[in-house]
Structure 1
Amino acid sequence: MNSKLLESPRRVEDAVSDVTVLAGDGYMLPLKKGQILRLVDVEGNQSGDVQIYNANDPTERYNANNTITAQANTMIELGTVIRSNCGNAMLTVIADTCGEHDTLGSGCSAEGNVVRYTNKTRYMHSCRDTFVRTLENYGLSKRDQTCNLNFFTKVILDDKGRLEFADGISGPGKYIELRADMDVLFLLSDCSQLNNPCNDYNPTPIRLLVFDK
Protein backbone atom coordinates (compact mmCIF):
# COMPACT_ATOMS: atom_id res chain seq x y z
CA MET A 1 0.00 0.00 0.00
CA ASN A 2 1.21 3.51 -0.83
CA SER A 3 2.03 5.19 2.51
CA LYS A 4 0.92 8.53 1.02
CA LEU A 5 -2.64 7.26 0.55
CA LEU A 6 -5.30 6.87 3.22
CA GLU A 7 -9.05 6.50 2.81
CA SER A 8 -11.43 8.40 5.07
CA PRO A 9 -13.81 6.70 7.54
CA ARG A 10 -16.38 9.48 7.02
CA ARG A 11 -19.60 8.75 5.14
CA VAL A 12 -20.97 11.12 2.49
CA GLU A 13 -24.44 10.99 4.06
CA ASP A 14 -23.00 12.47 7.28
CA ALA A 15 -21.77 15.65 5.60
CA VAL A 16 -23.27 18.89 6.95
CA SER A 17 -22.62 20.67 3.64
CA ASP A 18 -22.37 19.34 0.08
CA VAL A 19 -21.61 21.72 -2.80
CA THR A 20 -20.59 20.96 -6.39
CA VAL A 21 -18.57 23.71 -8.09
CA LEU A 22 -18.66 23.72 -11.88
CA ALA A 23 -15.58 24.25 -14.04
CA GLY A 24 -14.78 27.94 -14.35
CA ASP A 25 -16.69 28.88 -11.19
CA GLY A 26 -15.36 30.14 -7.87
CA TYR A 27 -16.62 29.37 -4.37
CA MET A 28 -15.74 30.74 -0.93
CA LEU A 29 -16.31 28.18 1.83
CA PRO A 30 -16.11 29.18 5.53
CA LEU A 31 -14.77 26.41 7.77
CA LYS A 32 -14.85 26.38 11.56
CA LYS A 33 -11.87 25.08 13.52
CA GLY A 34 -12.15 21.31 13.74
CA GLN A 35 -14.40 20.87 10.73
CA ILE A 36 -13.22 18.59 7.95
CA LEU A 37 -13.37 19.40 4.25
CA ARG A 38 -13.32 16.75 1.54
CA LEU A 39 -12.50 17.89 -2.01
CA VAL A 40 -13.63 15.35 -4.59
CA ASP A 41 -12.27 15.22 -8.14
CA VAL A 42 -15.63 14.18 -9.60
CA GLU A 43 -14.58 13.07 -13.09
CA GLY A 44 -10.79 13.00 -12.73
CA ASN A 45 -7.78 15.13 -13.73
CA GLN A 46 -9.42 18.36 -12.60
CA SER A 47 -7.26 21.09 -11.08
CA GLY A 48 -8.70 22.81 -8.02
CA ASP A 49 -6.83 26.07 -7.41
CA VAL A 50 -7.19 27.27 -3.82
CA GLN A 51 -6.37 30.28 -1.66
CA ILE A 52 -6.85 30.17 2.12
CA TYR A 53 -7.45 32.97 4.67
CA ASN A 54 -7.85 33.26 8.43
CA ALA A 55 -11.60 33.90 8.69
CA ASN A 56 -11.11 36.30 11.62
CA ASP A 57 -8.19 38.20 10.09
CA PRO A 58 -7.80 37.81 6.31
CA THR A 59 -4.37 39.47 6.43
CA GLU A 60 -3.22 36.08 7.72
CA ARG A 61 -3.28 33.71 4.76
CA TYR A 62 -1.72 30.63 3.20
CA ASN A 63 2.01 30.92 2.59
CA ALA A 64 3.79 28.52 0.25
CA ASN A 65 7.28 29.22 1.62
CA ASN A 66 6.36 28.48 5.23
CA THR A 67 4.46 25.34 4.25
CA ILE A 68 7.25 23.98 2.05
CA THR A 69 10.03 24.87 4.52
CA ALA A 70 8.30 23.32 7.53
CA GLN A 71 7.89 19.95 5.83
CA ALA A 72 10.90 20.09 3.45
CA ASN A 73 8.61 19.02 0.62
CA THR A 74 7.07 20.94 -2.28
CA MET A 75 4.04 18.64 -2.47
CA ILE A 76 0.88 18.65 -0.38
CA GLU A 77 0.23 15.08 0.74
CA LEU A 78 -0.98 12.98 3.67
CA GLY A 79 0.11 14.60 6.94
CA THR A 80 1.00 17.97 5.43
CA VAL A 81 0.29 20.97 7.66
CA ILE A 82 -0.69 23.95 5.51
CA ARG A 83 0.76 27.07 7.13
CA SER A 84 0.07 30.79 7.02
CA ASN A 85 2.33 33.81 6.55
CA CYS A 86 2.49 33.90 10.38
CA GLY A 87 3.68 30.30 10.50
CA ASN A 88 0.44 29.06 12.05
CA ALA A 89 -1.28 25.81 11.11
CA MET A 90 -4.33 26.47 8.93
CA LEU A 91 -5.27 23.02 7.63
CA THR A 92 -3.89 19.49 7.99
CA VAL A 93 -4.28 16.72 5.41
CA ILE A 94 -5.85 13.75 7.23
CA ALA A 95 -6.95 11.55 4.29
CA ASP A 96 -5.96 11.39 0.63
CA THR A 97 -6.65 8.96 -2.21
CA CYS A 98 -4.77 10.96 -4.86
CA GLY A 99 -1.29 11.23 -3.35
CA GLU A 100 0.37 14.49 -4.39
CA HIS A 101 -0.85 18.07 -4.86
CA ASP A 102 1.09 21.05 -6.14
CA THR A 103 2.38 24.15 -4.33
CA LEU A 104 4.60 25.52 -7.13
CA GLY A 105 2.39 26.43 -10.09
CA SER A 106 0.62 29.77 -9.91
CA GLY A 107 -3.05 30.01 -10.87
CA CYS A 108 -3.61 30.66 -14.56
CA SER A 109 -4.18 34.30 -15.54
CA ALA A 110 -4.98 36.29 -18.67
CA GLU A 111 -1.40 37.54 -18.79
CA GLY A 112 0.07 34.10 -18.22
CA ASN A 113 -2.13 32.60 -20.91
CA VAL A 114 -0.82 35.13 -23.42
CA VAL A 115 2.82 34.44 -22.54
CA ARG A 116 2.43 30.68 -22.69
CA TYR A 117 -0.27 30.13 -25.32
CA THR A 118 -0.37 33.29 -27.55
CA ASN A 119 -2.67 36.30 -27.54
CA LYS A 120 -5.60 34.21 -28.77
CA THR A 121 -6.08 32.94 -25.19
CA ARG A 122 -6.13 36.36 -23.46
CA TYR A 123 -9.88 36.39 -22.82
CA MET A 124 -10.29 32.78 -21.82
CA HIS A 125 -11.41 32.08 -18.24
CA SER A 126 -8.59 32.10 -15.72
CA CYS A 127 -8.26 31.25 -12.03
CA ARG A 128 -6.83 34.67 -11.16
CA ASP A 129 -9.93 36.37 -12.59
CA THR A 130 -12.16 33.90 -10.74
CA PHE A 131 -10.33 34.57 -7.46
CA VAL A 132 -10.82 38.33 -7.84
CA ARG A 133 -14.54 38.06 -8.64
CA THR A 134 -15.13 35.83 -5.63
CA LEU A 135 -12.99 37.89 -3.23
CA GLU A 136 -14.96 41.03 -4.09
CA ASN A 137 -18.13 39.36 -2.80
CA TYR A 138 -16.45 39.18 0.63
CA GLY A 139 -15.18 42.76 0.77
CA LEU A 140 -11.69 41.79 -0.39
CA SER A 141 -9.90 42.85 -3.55
CA LYS A 142 -7.27 41.93 -6.12
CA ARG A 143 -4.63 43.04 -3.62
CA ASP A 144 -5.75 40.25 -1.28
CA GLN A 145 -4.77 37.47 -3.65
CA THR A 146 -2.13 35.23 -2.18
CA CYS A 147 -0.23 32.05 -3.05
CA ASN A 148 -2.42 29.25 -4.31
CA LEU A 149 -2.43 25.49 -3.99
CA ASN A 150 -3.35 23.25 -6.90
CA PHE A 151 -5.20 20.18 -5.70
CA PHE A 152 -5.23 17.11 -7.98
CA THR A 153 -2.37 18.65 -9.97
CA LYS A 154 1.34 17.86 -9.96
CA VAL A 155 4.02 20.20 -11.28
CA ILE A 156 7.42 18.58 -11.70
CA LEU A 157 10.52 20.60 -10.80
CA ASP A 158 13.58 19.31 -12.66
CA ASP A 159 17.25 19.69 -11.73
CA LYS A 160 17.51 22.83 -13.89
CA GLY A 161 14.64 24.59 -12.13
CA ARG A 162 12.11 24.08 -14.94
CA LEU A 163 8.47 23.37 -14.15
CA GLU A 164 6.31 20.97 -16.13
CA PHE A 165 2.70 19.88 -15.60
CA ALA A 166 2.22 16.16 -15.06
CA ASP A 167 -0.86 14.54 -16.57
CA GLY A 168 -3.14 11.84 -15.21
CA ILE A 169 -2.23 11.79 -11.50
CA SER A 170 -5.86 11.84 -10.33
CA GLY A 171 -9.02 9.99 -11.37
CA PRO A 172 -12.80 9.95 -10.97
CA GLY A 173 -13.82 10.11 -7.32
CA LYS A 174 -10.31 10.74 -5.94
CA TYR A 175 -10.37 13.03 -2.90
CA ILE A 176 -8.37 14.79 -0.24
CA GLU A 177 -9.56 15.63 3.27
CA LEU A 178 -8.32 18.55 5.33
CA ARG A 179 -8.99 19.38 8.98
CA ALA A 180 -9.34 23.08 9.78
CA ASP A 181 -6.82 24.05 12.47
CA MET A 182 -8.32 27.56 12.72
CA ASP A 183 -11.43 29.27 11.35
CA VAL A 184 -10.65 29.68 7.65
CA LEU A 185 -12.07 30.98 4.40
CA PHE A 186 -11.34 28.38 1.73
CA LEU A 187 -11.44 29.95 -1.73
CA LEU A 188 -11.72 27.52 -4.66
CA SER A 189 -11.35 28.28 -8.34
CA ASP A 190 -12.41 25.21 -10.31
CA CYS A 191 -9.87 25.68 -13.08
CA SER A 192 -11.20 26.05 -16.62
CA GLN A 193 -7.75 25.89 -18.26
CA LEU A 194 -7.93 24.29 -21.72
CA ASN A 195 -4.34 24.79 -22.86
CA ASN A 196 -2.30 22.34 -20.77
CA PRO A 197 -2.88 18.78 -19.55
CA CYS A 198 -3.56 19.66 -15.89
CA ASN A 199 -7.30 19.08 -16.56
CA ASP A 200 -6.79 16.52 -19.35
CA TYR A 201 -8.04 19.38 -21.62
CA ASN A 202 -11.53 18.80 -20.22
CA PRO A 203 -12.49 20.92 -17.17
CA THR A 204 -14.98 19.16 -14.87
CA PRO A 205 -16.68 19.76 -11.47
CA ILE A 206 -15.20 19.59 -7.98
CA ARG A 207 -17.35 18.58 -5.03
CA LEU A 208 -16.91 20.06 -1.55
CA LEU A 209 -18.22 18.13 1.45
CA VAL A 210 -17.94 19.42 5.04
CA PHE A 211 -18.07 17.22 8.14
CA ASP A 212 -18.31 18.37 11.74
CA LYS A 213 -15.55 17.18 14.04
Structure 2
Amino acid sequence: MLDLEQTNNLPSGPPRPSTILWPGIRSLPEGVERYLVEGGGSVVVAIEPGDEVAVVDIEGGQACELAAADPGGKVDTAAILGAVADSDADGIKDILAGNGFSAGRTRAALKRRNIDLGKAKAIRVFGTSSRPGDRAEFTTAQGGTLIVAAPGGAMDFDLQNTVTPLELFVKRAVLKLTPEAELPDPLADPLQDIRVHASTAQAYKVKAGEYIQIIDVSGRQCTDFQAFSLPKLEAGRELALDATITRALLGLANPIPGIPAKAFDLEMDPLIETIQDTCGRHDAFLTACNSRYYDDMGYPGHVNCTDNFNAVLDPYGIAHRKGWEALNYFYNTRVDDQNQIYFDEPWSRPGDYILLRAVTDLV
Protein backbone atom coordinates (compact mmCIF):
# COMPACT_ATOMS: atom_id res chain seq x y z
CA MET A 1 0.00 0.00 0.00
CA LEU A 2 1.37 3.42 -0.96
CA ASP A 3 1.96 5.75 1.99
CA LEU A 4 0.98 9.15 0.53
CA GLU A 5 1.85 11.01 3.73
CA GLN A 6 5.48 9.88 3.50
CA THR A 7 5.91 11.44 0.04
CA ASN A 8 5.28 14.89 1.54
CA ASN A 9 8.57 14.67 3.44
CA LEU A 10 10.67 14.80 0.27
CA PRO A 11 13.14 17.72 0.28
CA SER A 12 12.40 20.60 -2.04
CA GLY A 13 14.77 21.98 -4.65
CA PRO A 14 17.43 20.27 -6.74
CA PRO A 15 18.96 16.99 -5.59
CA ARG A 16 21.74 17.26 -3.07
CA PRO A 17 25.20 15.91 -3.96
CA SER A 18 25.78 12.34 -2.88
CA THR A 19 27.98 11.71 0.15
CA ILE A 20 31.26 9.92 -0.45
CA LEU A 21 31.53 7.38 2.35
CA TRP A 22 35.18 6.52 1.67
CA PRO A 23 36.92 9.60 0.23
CA GLY A 24 40.02 8.69 -1.71
CA ILE A 25 39.75 4.91 -2.12
CA ARG A 26 42.21 3.29 0.31
CA SER A 27 44.83 0.77 -0.77
CA LEU A 28 45.88 0.08 2.83
CA PRO A 29 43.87 -1.38 5.73
CA GLU A 30 41.99 0.99 8.01
CA GLY A 31 44.30 2.62 10.51
CA VAL A 32 47.47 2.06 8.45
CA GLU A 33 49.28 5.11 7.10
CA ARG A 34 52.15 5.10 4.60
CA TYR A 35 54.82 7.78 4.28
CA LEU A 36 57.64 7.92 1.73
CA VAL A 37 60.97 9.11 3.13
CA GLU A 38 62.97 10.37 0.17
CA GLY A 39 66.65 9.49 0.01
CA GLY A 40 68.51 12.25 1.83
CA GLY A 41 65.20 13.47 3.28
CA SER A 42 63.10 13.19 6.42
CA VAL A 43 59.50 13.12 7.61
CA VAL A 44 57.76 14.08 10.85
CA VAL A 45 54.71 12.09 12.02
CA ALA A 46 52.50 12.37 15.10
CA ILE A 47 52.30 9.14 17.10
CA GLU A 48 50.03 7.82 19.86
CA PRO A 49 50.60 5.15 22.55
CA GLY A 50 50.52 1.63 21.13
CA ASP A 51 51.05 2.60 17.49
CA GLU A 52 53.03 0.06 15.46
CA VAL A 53 55.82 1.65 13.43
CA ALA A 54 57.57 -0.17 10.58
CA VAL A 55 60.36 1.14 8.34
CA VAL A 56 61.16 -0.64 5.07
CA ASP A 57 64.42 -0.34 3.13
CA ILE A 58 62.93 -0.46 -0.36
CA GLU A 59 66.06 -0.90 -2.47
CA GLY A 60 68.49 -2.08 0.20
CA GLY A 61 71.71 -0.53 1.43
CA GLN A 62 70.05 2.63 2.79
CA ALA A 63 70.64 3.67 6.39
CA CYS A 64 67.73 4.95 8.48
CA GLU A 65 67.60 7.03 11.66
CA LEU A 66 64.59 7.36 13.95
CA ALA A 67 64.13 9.83 16.80
CA ALA A 68 61.08 10.44 18.97
CA ALA A 69 59.94 13.21 21.30
CA ASP A 70 57.15 13.40 23.86
CA PRO A 71 54.24 15.87 23.53
CA GLY A 72 56.26 18.51 25.43
CA GLY A 73 59.10 18.34 22.91
CA LYS A 74 61.60 16.35 25.03
CA VAL A 75 63.51 13.82 22.92
CA ASP A 76 63.49 10.35 24.52
CA THR A 77 63.83 7.95 21.63
CA ALA A 78 64.68 4.83 23.62
CA ALA A 79 61.74 5.15 26.01
CA ILE A 80 59.19 5.99 23.33
CA LEU A 81 60.23 3.37 20.74
CA GLY A 82 61.40 0.71 23.19
CA ALA A 83 64.84 0.13 21.66
CA VAL A 84 68.42 1.18 22.34
CA ALA A 85 69.21 4.62 20.96
CA ASP A 86 72.64 3.85 19.53
CA SER A 87 73.22 6.97 17.43
CA ASP A 88 73.82 10.67 18.06
CA ALA A 89 71.32 11.45 15.28
CA ASP A 90 74.12 12.80 13.10
CA GLY A 91 72.29 11.70 9.96
CA ILE A 92 69.14 13.65 10.88
CA LYS A 93 71.20 16.68 11.91
CA ASP A 94 73.14 16.67 8.64
CA ILE A 95 69.88 16.65 6.68
CA LEU A 96 68.43 19.50 8.76
CA ALA A 97 71.62 21.53 8.26
CA GLY A 98 71.15 21.40 4.49
CA ASN A 99 68.86 23.42 2.27
CA GLY A 100 66.82 20.60 0.77
CA PHE A 101 63.04 20.85 0.54
CA SER A 102 62.35 18.25 3.23
CA ALA A 103 64.93 19.91 5.51
CA GLY A 104 63.02 23.17 5.63
CA ARG A 105 59.72 21.38 6.14
CA THR A 106 61.13 19.25 8.97
CA ARG A 107 62.80 22.23 10.67
CA ALA A 108 59.49 24.08 10.63
CA ALA A 109 57.62 21.04 12.01
CA LEU A 110 60.14 20.62 14.87
CA LYS A 111 60.01 24.32 15.69
CA ARG A 112 56.21 24.23 15.97
CA ARG A 113 56.54 21.33 18.43
CA ASN A 114 59.41 22.89 20.45
CA ILE A 115 61.70 19.94 19.65
CA ASP A 116 65.47 20.48 19.88
CA LEU A 117 67.64 17.72 18.40
CA GLY A 118 70.90 19.25 19.61
CA LYS A 119 71.61 16.49 22.15
CA ALA A 120 69.18 13.95 20.78
CA LYS A 121 69.83 10.24 20.55
CA ALA A 122 68.44 8.20 17.67
CA ILE A 123 68.00 4.59 16.62
CA ARG A 124 69.97 3.67 13.51
CA VAL A 125 68.83 0.71 11.41
CA PHE A 126 69.83 -0.69 8.03
CA GLY A 127 73.07 0.11 6.25
CA THR A 128 75.27 -1.03 3.41
CA SER A 129 74.51 -4.70 4.11
CA SER A 130 70.70 -4.42 4.34
CA ARG A 131 68.71 -6.17 1.64
CA PRO A 132 65.78 -4.84 -0.41
CA GLY A 133 62.60 -5.14 1.63
CA ASP A 134 64.29 -5.39 5.05
CA ARG A 135 62.02 -4.12 7.85
CA ALA A 136 62.52 -2.67 11.30
CA GLU A 137 59.49 -2.59 13.61
CA PHE A 138 58.72 -0.75 16.85
CA THR A 139 55.74 -0.18 19.13
CA THR A 140 55.35 3.24 20.70
CA ALA A 141 55.14 3.37 24.49
CA GLN A 142 53.70 6.89 24.52
CA GLY A 143 52.47 9.57 22.20
CA GLY A 144 54.47 12.39 20.71
CA THR A 145 56.39 13.02 17.51
CA LEU A 146 58.39 10.63 15.33
CA ILE A 147 61.22 11.79 13.06
CA VAL A 148 62.45 9.37 10.38
CA ALA A 149 65.35 10.15 8.04
CA ALA A 150 67.17 8.45 5.16
CA PRO A 151 70.64 10.00 5.62
CA GLY A 152 73.48 10.01 3.13
CA GLY A 153 75.77 12.34 1.28
CA ALA A 154 76.03 13.30 -2.38
CA MET A 155 76.91 10.36 -4.61
CA ASP A 156 80.54 10.08 -5.73
CA PHE A 157 80.87 9.79 -9.49
CA ASP A 158 83.01 6.62 -9.22
CA LEU A 159 80.97 4.87 -6.51
CA GLN A 160 77.51 3.33 -6.13
CA ASN A 161 76.58 5.14 -2.92
CA THR A 162 73.40 6.91 -3.95
CA VAL A 163 70.75 7.55 -1.31
CA THR A 164 67.43 5.77 -1.86
CA PRO A 165 63.93 6.11 -0.38
CA LEU A 166 62.44 4.35 2.64
CA GLU A 167 58.84 3.47 3.40
CA LEU A 168 57.35 4.29 6.80
CA PHE A 169 54.16 2.53 7.90
CA VAL A 170 52.24 3.55 11.02
CA LYS A 171 49.45 1.24 12.22
CA ARG A 172 47.29 3.18 14.64
CA ALA A 173 46.37 1.53 17.92
CA VAL A 174 43.13 3.52 18.03
CA LEU A 175 41.16 4.33 14.90
CA LYS A 176 39.99 7.93 14.73
CA LEU A 177 36.56 7.91 13.13
CA THR A 178 36.61 11.53 12.00
CA PRO A 179 34.60 12.84 9.03
CA GLU A 180 37.72 14.40 7.50
CA ALA A 181 41.30 13.29 7.09
CA GLU A 182 43.93 15.04 9.16
CA LEU A 183 45.72 17.63 7.05
CA PRO A 184 49.47 17.32 6.54
CA ASP A 185 51.77 19.86 8.16
CA PRO A 186 51.89 23.11 6.19
CA LEU A 187 54.86 23.50 3.88
CA ALA A 188 55.58 26.84 5.60
CA ASP A 189 53.88 29.21 8.03
CA PRO A 190 50.87 30.43 5.99
CA LEU A 191 50.22 34.11 5.36
CA GLN A 192 46.57 33.27 4.64
CA ASP A 193 44.73 30.12 5.71
CA ILE A 194 41.49 29.98 3.75
CA ARG A 195 38.91 27.20 3.97
CA VAL A 196 36.79 27.03 0.81
CA HIS A 197 33.65 25.15 1.82
CA ALA A 198 31.74 22.91 -0.58
CA SER A 199 29.75 24.73 -3.27
CA THR A 200 31.40 28.10 -2.51
CA ALA A 201 34.25 30.23 -3.83
CA GLN A 202 36.80 32.60 -2.30
CA ALA A 203 38.76 35.49 -3.83
CA TYR A 204 42.00 36.79 -2.33
CA LYS A 205 45.15 38.72 -3.26
CA VAL A 206 48.59 37.15 -3.61
CA LYS A 207 51.88 38.97 -4.09
CA ALA A 208 54.49 38.01 -6.68
CA GLY A 209 56.75 35.25 -5.40
CA GLU A 210 54.27 33.97 -2.82
CA TYR A 211 53.09 30.36 -2.93
CA ILE A 212 49.54 29.04 -3.18
CA GLN A 213 48.91 25.53 -1.83
CA ILE A 214 45.53 24.06 -2.83
CA ILE A 215 44.74 21.00 -0.69
CA ASP A 216 42.04 18.41 -1.31
CA VAL A 217 40.98 17.87 2.29
CA SER A 218 38.87 14.71 2.03
CA GLY A 219 39.87 13.37 -1.38
CA ARG A 220 38.12 13.29 -4.77
CA GLN A 221 37.00 16.92 -4.55
CA CYS A 222 37.40 18.99 -7.70
CA THR A 223 38.15 22.71 -7.64
CA ASP A 224 38.23 25.51 -10.23
CA PHE A 225 41.10 28.03 -10.18
CA GLN A 226 41.20 31.43 -11.87
CA ALA A 227 43.68 34.31 -11.56
CA PHE A 228 44.09 37.90 -12.75
CA SER A 229 47.14 40.15 -12.92
CA LEU A 230 46.51 42.77 -10.23
CA PRO A 231 48.52 45.52 -12.03
CA LYS A 232 46.42 44.99 -15.15
CA LEU A 233 43.18 45.07 -13.14
CA GLU A 234 44.23 48.33 -11.52
CA ALA A 235 44.86 49.71 -15.01
CA GLY A 236 41.32 48.74 -16.01
CA ARG A 237 42.38 45.72 -18.10
CA GLU A 238 40.49 42.56 -17.17
CA LEU A 239 42.58 39.65 -18.47
CA ALA A 240 41.91 36.30 -16.85
CA LEU A 241 44.05 33.19 -16.87
CA ASP A 242 43.43 31.60 -20.28
CA ALA A 243 43.56 27.81 -20.42
CA THR A 244 43.59 27.72 -24.24
CA ILE A 245 46.59 30.06 -24.46
CA THR A 246 48.28 28.01 -21.72
CA ARG A 247 47.82 24.71 -23.56
CA ALA A 248 48.99 26.22 -26.84
CA LEU A 249 52.18 27.70 -25.37
CA LEU A 250 53.07 24.60 -23.35
CA GLY A 251 52.03 21.96 -25.86
CA LEU A 252 50.49 20.07 -22.93
CA ALA A 253 46.98 19.42 -21.65
CA ASN A 254 47.80 21.36 -18.46
CA PRO A 255 50.85 22.83 -16.69
CA ILE A 256 53.13 20.44 -14.80
CA PRO A 257 56.13 20.98 -12.50
CA GLY A 258 59.35 21.65 -14.38
CA ILE A 259 59.90 23.67 -17.54
CA PRO A 260 56.26 23.59 -18.83
CA ALA A 261 54.94 24.86 -15.50
CA LYS A 262 53.43 28.29 -16.17
CA ALA A 263 49.87 29.37 -16.91
CA PHE A 264 49.24 32.51 -18.96
CA ASP A 265 46.64 35.21 -19.56
CA LEU A 266 45.23 36.31 -22.94
CA GLU A 267 48.29 38.47 -23.63
CA MET A 268 50.55 35.45 -23.05
CA ASP A 269 51.99 36.90 -19.84
CA PRO A 270 52.65 34.28 -17.13
CA LEU A 271 50.51 34.42 -13.99
CA ILE A 272 51.37 31.30 -11.99
CA GLU A 273 53.92 28.50 -12.00
CA THR A 274 53.27 24.91 -10.88
CA ILE A 275 55.90 23.87 -8.31
CA GLN A 276 54.59 20.58 -6.90
CA ASP A 277 51.68 18.30 -7.72
CA THR A 278 50.88 15.19 -5.68
CA CYS A 279 47.88 14.17 -7.81
CA GLY A 280 48.90 14.70 -11.43
CA ARG A 281 45.42 14.50 -12.98
CA HIS A 282 43.66 17.78 -13.79
CA ASP A 283 41.62 19.46 -16.53
CA ALA A 284 42.30 22.58 -18.60
CA PHE A 285 39.72 22.09 -21.38
CA LEU A 286 36.28 22.66 -19.88
CA THR A 287 34.83 25.78 -18.29
CA ALA A 288 33.85 25.92 -14.65
CA CYS A 289 30.36 24.49 -14.19
CA ASN A 290 27.61 26.99 -14.96
CA SER A 291 23.85 27.43 -14.88
CA ARG A 292 23.46 26.34 -18.52
CA TYR A 293 25.11 23.00 -17.71
CA TYR A 294 22.66 22.31 -14.88
CA ASP A 295 19.68 23.61 -16.86
CA ASP A 296 20.45 21.12 -19.62
CA MET A 297 20.85 18.36 -17.01
CA GLY A 298 17.38 19.13 -15.65
CA TYR A 299 18.44 20.92 -12.46
CA PRO A 300 17.53 24.59 -12.98
CA GLY A 301 18.70 26.92 -10.23
CA HIS A 302 21.51 24.61 -9.09
CA VAL A 303 24.50 26.19 -7.34
CA ASN A 304 27.42 26.42 -9.77
CA CYS A 305 31.02 27.56 -9.82
CA THR A 306 30.55 30.29 -12.43
CA ASP A 307 27.91 32.09 -10.34
CA ASN A 308 30.14 31.66 -7.28
CA PHE A 309 33.06 33.21 -9.19
CA ASN A 310 30.88 36.12 -10.31
CA ALA A 311 29.81 36.84 -6.72
CA VAL A 312 33.28 36.85 -5.13
CA LEU A 313 34.87 38.82 -8.01
CA ASP A 314 32.27 41.60 -7.77
CA PRO A 315 34.30 43.64 -5.23
CA TYR A 316 37.20 43.77 -7.71
CA GLY A 317 35.01 45.23 -10.46
CA ILE A 318 35.29 42.14 -12.64
CA ALA A 319 32.40 41.66 -15.06
CA HIS A 320 30.13 38.65 -14.72
CA ARG A 321 30.45 35.80 -17.20
CA LYS A 322 28.11 32.98 -18.14
CA GLY A 323 30.93 30.46 -18.13
CA TRP A 324 34.33 31.00 -16.53
CA GLU A 325 37.40 29.50 -18.13
CA ALA A 326 39.57 27.96 -15.41
CA LEU A 327 42.21 25.44 -14.47
CA ASN A 328 40.10 22.65 -13.02
CA TYR A 329 42.34 20.96 -10.47
CA PHE A 330 41.74 17.32 -9.47
CA TYR A 331 39.31 16.77 -12.36
CA ASN A 332 39.81 13.40 -14.06
CA THR A 333 38.95 14.53 -17.59
CA ARG A 334 40.00 12.86 -20.84
CA VAL A 335 39.10 12.57 -24.53
CA ASP A 336 38.42 9.01 -25.72
CA ASP A 337 39.04 7.44 -29.15
CA GLN A 338 35.56 8.56 -30.26
CA ASN A 339 36.49 12.20 -29.53
CA GLN A 340 34.12 12.17 -26.56
CA ILE A 341 35.11 14.34 -23.59
CA TYR A 342 34.35 12.55 -20.34
CA PHE A 343 35.28 12.75 -16.69
CA ASP A 344 35.54 10.06 -14.06
CA GLU A 345 36.21 9.84 -10.34
CA PRO A 346 39.14 12.10 -9.38
CA TRP A 347 42.42 10.49 -8.46
CA SER A 348 43.13 12.86 -5.57
CA ARG A 349 43.50 11.38 -2.08
CA PRO A 350 42.89 13.13 1.25
CA GLY A 351 45.73 15.62 1.69
CA ASP A 352 46.80 15.72 -1.96
CA TYR A 353 47.76 19.20 -3.07
CA ILE A 354 49.06 21.36 -5.87
CA LEU A 355 51.61 24.06 -5.04
CA LEU A 356 51.71 27.18 -7.21
CA ARG A 357 53.95 30.26 -7.21
CA ALA A 358 52.61 33.67 -8.20
CA VAL A 359 54.69 35.15 -11.03
CA THR A 360 53.08 38.58 -10.57
CA ASP A 361 50.69 40.20 -8.07
CA LEU A 362 47.38 38.38 -8.42
CA VAL A 363 43.71 38.34 -7.58
TM range (shorter): 0.7 to 0.9
Tell me how far 1:67 sits from its aligned partner. 0.6
Query: Which 4+ stretches in 1 moved above 3 angstroms?
Result: 8-11, 143-146
SS in 1 for 2:308: helix
Rounded Cα–Cα distance in structure 1 between residues aligned with 2:247 and 2:223:
19
Q: Distance in 2 between matches of 1:96 and 1:143?
A: 29
For 2:193, the equivalent position in structure 1 comes to: 18
Answer whether contact 1:61 1:146 (CA < 8 A) is retained.
no
1:72 paired residue number: 251
The percentage of counterpart residues that share the same residue type is: 26
Specify every segment of 5 or more residues in structure 1 that has no aligned partner in the other structure, as ranges: 2-7, 186-213
SS of 1:28 mapped into structure 2 = coil
Q: Give the structure 2 partner of residue 27 of structure 1.
A: 202
Question: In structure 2, what is the equivalent of residue 165 of structure 1?
Answer: 343
* Matched residue type, 1:108: C
267, 270, 273: which one aligns with 1:86? 267
Residue 130 of structure 1 deviates from its aligned partner by: 0.5
Q: Find out whether 1:112 has 2:293 as its counterpart.
A: yes
Deviation at 1:75, TM superposition (A): 2.6
Report the alpha carbon displacement of residue 82 of structure 1 after superposing the two structures with TM.
0.6
Instruction: Work out whether residues 263 and 270 of structure 2, in 8 Å CA contact, stay in contact via their aligned partners in 1.
Output: yes
8 Å CA contact retained: 2:240, 2:266: yes
The residue type equivalent to 1:173 in the other structure is: G
Structure 2 residue identity aligned to 1:111: R
Deviation, 1:124, is: 1.4
Q: CA deviation at 1:76?
A: 3.4
Aligned to 1:149: 327
Kindly indicate whether residue 230 of structure 2 is the aligned counterpart of residue 55 of structure 1: yes
TM norm structure 2: 0.46
1:45-69 deviation line (CA, Å, top 9, x unaligned): 1111121111111322211121101
Q: Mapping of 1:121-160 within 5 angstroms?
A: 121-143=299-321, 146-160=324-338
Aligned counterparts of 1:145 and 1:90: Cα–Cα separation in 2: 20
Provide the aligned C-alpha RMSD in A.
2.0
- Residues 118-152 of structure 1, C-alpha deviations (whole Å, 9 max, x = no match): 2xx11111011101111112222214974211111
CA contact (8 A) 1:31 1:184 kept: yes
- What amino acid is the match of 2:263? I
Larger gyration radius, structure 1 or structure 2: 2
Structure 2: distance between partners of 1:72 and 1:153: 19
Ranked by relative contact order (alpha carbons within 8 Å, sequence separation 6 or more), the top structure is: 1
- Deviation, 1:36, is 0.5
Give TM-score scaled by structure 1 length: 0.76
Aligned: 1:37 with 2:212: yes
Cα distance in 2 between the residues matched to 1:76 and 1:172: 22
Of 266, 278, 282 in structure 2, the residue corresponding to residue 97 of structure 1 is 278
Contact 1:26 1:134 in 2 (8 A): yes
**Structure whose residues are more often strand by fraction:** 1
Give unmatched runs, 5+ long, in structure 2.
1-35, 37-100, 109-185
